A and B are shown apart, each in its own frame.
Chain A
Amino acid sequence: MSTSPKNTPALLDVLDVSKAFGTVQVLRSVSLQVAKGEVVTVIGPSGSGKTTLLRCVNFLESYDSGSIRIDGKEVGFREAGTRQRRSERDLAAMRAETGMVFQSFNLFPHLTAAGNIMLGLTKVRGKSNAEARTIAEHWLGRVGLAHKADSLPAELSGGQQQRVGIARAVAMGPKILLLDEITSALDPELVGEVLEVVRSLAEDGMTMVMVTHEMAFARDASSRIIFMADGGVSAAGPPAEILAADTDNERLRTFLARFRASHF
């Protein structure tokens, strides 16, 4: 099954990726292409491999076979086909090109909001403190937290922390942004402010892959939805097609029915 629009070159190219944790096959020959500027949401029941897939893209997890390329460059291994891991330095440089936002925020608690954003800018991008501070303030402004630059994470609400998490990721100027269930740990009333930030990034043309349970958001904001089940891509297509109640895909229909039942 093709999961990519035909005529644009893929920024992210996942090809035949498989991975097992012990005897559990978490990814089964997953292929997925994402073009520049696309917003792809990945949905599916828990345990279907969504998060693992995302973590393979910036090589927080290794995988057993297949290839993942960003902008034509193999991510974790030296060349496609070989299983030789890149050096620590190479991996770090690669990861700097992919932003990641985590379910549990993972802000650095000993640094302020601005400090969280500045760390990668100064240590990885080699910017001066003053430059980094300017960039940090710009992005904090973008996520509506200009006034919280000098607050520590513990002084921020969950929604605010996650917005700093997004600012930290995008400030690095990544080619692609990976969002891993970024609203799942939030109180319902804080979900909106975070999704609003994601939506505005999408409007600016940021390429994103987002694992989410927010179906309404997936429907409204994504160019394509990938439905994963049992470690494989079970269905992929535009939102209207995937979220249609009368889909032929049995697993997808069950998933959507269960989802609707539990959300009303």
Chain B
Amino acid sequence: MLTQIAYALPFLAQGFALTLWVSLLVVVFSLIAGVIMGVGLVYGPVPLQWAVRIFSDTIRGIPILVLIFFVYYGLPAVGLHLPSFWAAVLALTLFKTAQVVEYFRGAVGSIPKGQSEAAMAIGLTFRQRLAYVIFPQAFRRFLPPWINGVTDAVKGSALVSLLGITDLMQAINQVIGRTYEAMPLYILGALIYFAVNYALSLASRRLERRFSFIRE
């Protein structure tokens, strides 16, 4: 049994690499898109606020699995054919973006209005106010839910296996298909996912402590 698993390790490692790659892409894309949309939601003109609101509420109301199938199997109907990998990345990114928008809104919304006003009063422009006054303070509140969200993204990436992409989950299933060693392999898979996410939450706690000097 152990030799069989050892034999499969390089294959599993490839799957793990793909899991990390998908997660990384999703986390980066959703962070960028989410913050931009978040700025639109908090500071934008009313129609833009509405657009972001509708996007976020709609996406968050759909199971992520439905979203993945919709992007991969549904979008071709309107002429958008995406390779399975990018369909999966797009679906997961949409899902995460909607969450990032909410984390952003919550974090920025928790900064007292007087902070913006004081920043205005010394003559900072809108961008400077965000960069030097609002974001540094909001960051500490944004971080914990966002890191939680990153671990969600790593876990959620296992769903891409349903599109036939050989991520860690799919690799495990394939090895089980060959070896019939379901229990040890699923335990191994669980341990790998756990290790990644535990490392992330440790990093998060560290970061939070670093920024904990900010008190009001």
Residue ranges of A at the interface with B (Cβ–Cβ < 8 Å): 58, 60, 88-89, 92-100, 102, 104, 106-110, 119-120, 123-124, 152, 154, 168-169, 172
Contacts and interface: CB of A to CB of B under 8 A. Distances in A.
Given A58-B121, A95-B120, 6 more contacts: A60-B120, A92-B123, A104-B112, A107-B118, A119-B124, A172-B122
A120 B123 contact: yes
Interface of B: 112, 114-115, 117-126, 128, 132-133, 136-137, 213-216
B215 A108 contact: no
Contact of B216 (A89, A100, A154): A154
**Best-buried of A88, A110, A120 by chain B (most CB within 10 Å):** A110
Contacts of A98: 121
A96 B118 CA distance: 11
Contact of B117 (A92, A99, A106, A107): A106
Please classify the interface of chain B as helix (H, G, I), strand (E, B), loop, or mixed, using the class held by over half of its residues.
helix
A99 B121 contact: yes
A115 B125 CA distance: 18
A124 B126 CA distance: 12
20 contacts: A58-B121, A60-B121, A92-B123, A95-B122, A102-B114, A104-B112, A106-B114, A107-B118, A108-B115, A108-B119, A109-B137, A109-B214, A119-B132, A120-B122, A120-B123, A123-B132, A124-B123, A154-B215, A168-B118, A172-B122
Nearest to B117: A60
A123 B123 CA distance: 9
A106 B122 CA distance: 12
Contacts of B132: 119, 123
A110 B214 contact: yes
Contact of B137 (A89, A110, A152, A168): A110
A165 to B, nearest CB: 8
A92 B120 contact: yes
A194 to B, nearest CB: 17
Contacts of B123: 92-97, 120, 124, 172
Contact of B122 (A96, A109, A110, A152): A96
A264 to B, nearest CB: 33
Given A109-B214, A110-B136, A154-B215, A88 B118 contact: no
A40 to B, nearest CB: 19
B118 A106 contact: yes
Contact of A124 (B122, B137, B214): B122
Contacts of A99: 121-122
A109 B119 CA distance: 12
Contacts of A109: 137, 214-216
Contacts of B215: 109, 152, 154
